[in-house]
Amino acid sequence: MFNRVLIANRGEIALRIGRALRSLGVEVCMIHGREDRLSTPVRFSDDSRPILRSNPLDSYLDIEAVIDAAKSMGVDAIHPGYGFLAENADFVRRLEEEEITFIGPSSDVIRLLGDKIEARKAMEAAGLPVAKGSSESVSSADEAVSLASEIGYPVIIKAAAGGGGIGMQIVHDSSEFSSALNLCQSRARSAFGDDRVFVEKYIEGAQHIEFQVLADGKNAIHFGERFCSIQRRHQKLLEEGPWLSDEVRSEIGSKVCAGAEAVGYRGLATFEFLRDSNGDFYFLEVNPRVQVEHTVTEMITGEDMVQLGIRVAAGESLPLTQEDVKFNGHAIQFRINAEDPRKFVPSPGKLWECHFPGGVGVRVDTHAHVGYDMPGCFDSLLAKMIVWGKDRNEAIARSRAALAETVIIGVDTVIPLHRAILDERDFLDRRVTIRYLENHPSILED
């Protein structure tokens, strides 16, 4: 096992990774920007280095500064968390050169999976179902129109280097193509520095379902699925699991393991799919890192995902078999974002009062505390509340009680929206697609 690990991240995930490291007996090192110098994960760390930049995001994105900090603290490995440098193949390549272990897959695998066009090809070859779409990038409207008439409308234009739902455009007929293509390309260029886009069948009435995978470079196992259809701007707000029958879980589960093994994957991965109303699955992408919602899987399997990811990075082979993975009960995660619950505009500010719930089956992962100054420059995730019950109904009932005793004063949060969802008929009846919030525009008024 490692002696010291640097967490190149901040917020709730830095705290979460610190817990896993400490329980493995590993020393926790942190980097931090100006805003985070007094943050909970930094205060609990064994060692830390400031990286002060005028743009606060750069404190966590400056590859050479992170490597210098890692060397000065004498760490054996770096945990990237999610976001920032977690999917940056250049960063991982530099760590390989410096012989510092990256807790995640190799730079080659990250590069392959970071390109949605290449990832689609690799996973199709490994036997995963993919939606009809282009196998190369599309640059002209004419090319896109002829492809779309083969695929059938509606189609979606997506960035090859995409992430965070940025730039996606849905196209219903050929007249919309050229402006949609331009828009997607320009968003992709400014967000990812890569304007390659591709066209894919738009799956209507789809549900977002993803599989949690752990692999050691040779073998892979899965920890079942999470249902993540409640999204705002293509970003998840509420996640739950399990969702599928045992038969479907083992059928898709064995496919994702084959996909991970085909690329020599090492570490935690999430295989994301859309499922249409016929029950057919379509591969979307692989997220080669720990995800915000890994907690749902931890609650229903009792396994520590973050710790397992660290152990395989340290060179252990998979410490459990597929048969060892057992599912128990139902869990729901609520992302408590500091945002206006109607318009989702970020709401930074100081927390004057802050009380989180507890009790049987209730877990809160957060770096927030009374007096915490929620910065506006990072993402708006303030806390995650994860609630477990013997079945979905018990999880929902406990969630209502837990949200009722959550108090955050000083910033707006999406708690009122979560409480409204928990009382909404379609949600209770599991009639949820990725358009759930658009289809319930007055959920907060009803």
Chain positions contacting ligand ADP, by CB under 6 A: 131, 156, 162-166, 168, 200-203, 206, 208, 231, 234, 272, 274, 284-285, 434
Task: Write the single-letter amino acid at 42.
Answer: V
- Shortest approach of ligand ADP to residue 378 CB, angstroms? 18
Q: Using CA atoms, how far apart are residues 320 and 324, in angstroms rounded to an integer?
A: 6
- Pick the closer one to ligand ADP by CB: 216 or 285: 285
Task: Write the single-letter amino acid at 309.
Answer: G
- Shortest approach of ligand ADP to residue 116 CB, angstroms? 7
Query: Which residue from 323, 308, 374 is spatially nearest to 347, judged by alpha carbons?
Result: 374
- Pick the closer one to ligand ADP by CB: 76 or 240: 240
Query: Which residue from 424, 335, 421 is spatially nearest to 386, judged by alpha carbons?
Result: 335
- Shortest approach of ligand ADP to residue 170 CB, angstroms? 8
Q: Using CA atoms, how far apart are residues 283 and 290, in angstroms rounded to an integer?
A: 19
Q: Using CA atoms, how far apart are residues 17 and 21, in angstroms rounded to an integer?
A: 6
- Pick the closer one to ligand ADP by CB: 195 or 200: 200
> Which residue carries 């970071």 as its tokens?
114
- Shortest approach of ligand ADP to residue 131 CB, angstroms? 5
Q: What angle do CA 372, 376, 381 make, to 5 degrees?
A: 70
- Pick the closer one to ligand ADP by CB: 30 or 145: 145
Q: By three-state DSSP, how is residue 287 classified?
A: strand
Q: Is 363 a catalytic residue?
A: no
- Pick the closer one to ligand ADP by CB: 97 or 150: 150
- Pick the closer one to ligand ADP by CB: 234 or 355: 234
- Shortest approach of ligand ADP to residue 234 CB, angstroms? 4
Q: What is the DSSP track for 157-223? A: EEETT--TTTT-EEE-SGGGHHHHHHHHHHHHHHHHS---EEEEE--TT-EEEEEEEEEESS-EEEE
- Shortest approach of ligand ADP to residue 83 CB, angstroms? 12
Q: Using CA atoms, how far apart are residues 11 and 194, in angstroms rounded to an integer?
A: 28
- Shortest approach of ligand ADP to residue 133 CB, angstroms? 8
Q: Using CA atoms, how far apart are residues 139 and 141, in angstroms rounded to an integer?
A: 7
Query: Which residue from 101, 145, 133, 137 is spatially nearest to 3, judged by alpha carbons?
Result: 101
Q: Which of 10, 289, 392, 398 is flagged as catalytic?
A: 289
- Shortest approach of ligand ADP to residue 299 CB, angstroms? 22
- Shortest approach of ligand ADP to residue 181 CB, angstroms? 16
- Pick the closer one to ligand ADP by CB: 152 or 315: 152
DSSP code of residue 116: H
Contact 45, 36 (CB under 8 A): no
Contact 135, 117 (CB under 8 A): yes
Q: Using CA atoms, how far apart are residues 414 and 422, in angstroms rounded to an integer?
A: 13
Q: Which residue spans within 345-416 are E strands per DSSP?
A: 349-350, 353-355, 362-366, 373-374, 381-389, 407-409
- Pick the closer one to ligand ADP by CB: 209 or 408: 209
Q: Using CA atoms, how far apart are residues 92 and 110, in angstroms rounded to an integer?
A: 8
- Pick the closer one to ligand ADP by CB: 72 or 439: 439
Radius of gyration of the chain (CA): 21
Angle of helix 305-313 versus helix 294-301 axis, rounded to 10: 100
Q: Using CA atoms, how far apart are residues 211 and 28, in angstroms rounded to an integer?
A: 29
Q: Which two tokens stand for residue 128?
A: 């995963």
Question: Catalytic site residues?
Answer: 289
